Amino acid sequence: MLIDSIPRVALRWTPQGKRNCGRPKETWRRTVDRDLKTRSLTLQTAPAIAADRTKWRYLAVASSTRRRRKD
Q: What is the mean pLDDT of the chain?
A: 77
Sign of the alpha-carbon dihedral angle for 51, 53, 54, 58? positive
Residue 2: pLDDT band (50, 70, 90) is low
Q: Residue 7: pLDDT above 80?
A: no
Q: What residue ranges do the domains of the chain occupy?
A: 28-71
Q: Residue 1: pLDDT above 60?
A: no
pLDDT value for 6: 82
pLDDT value for 70: 52
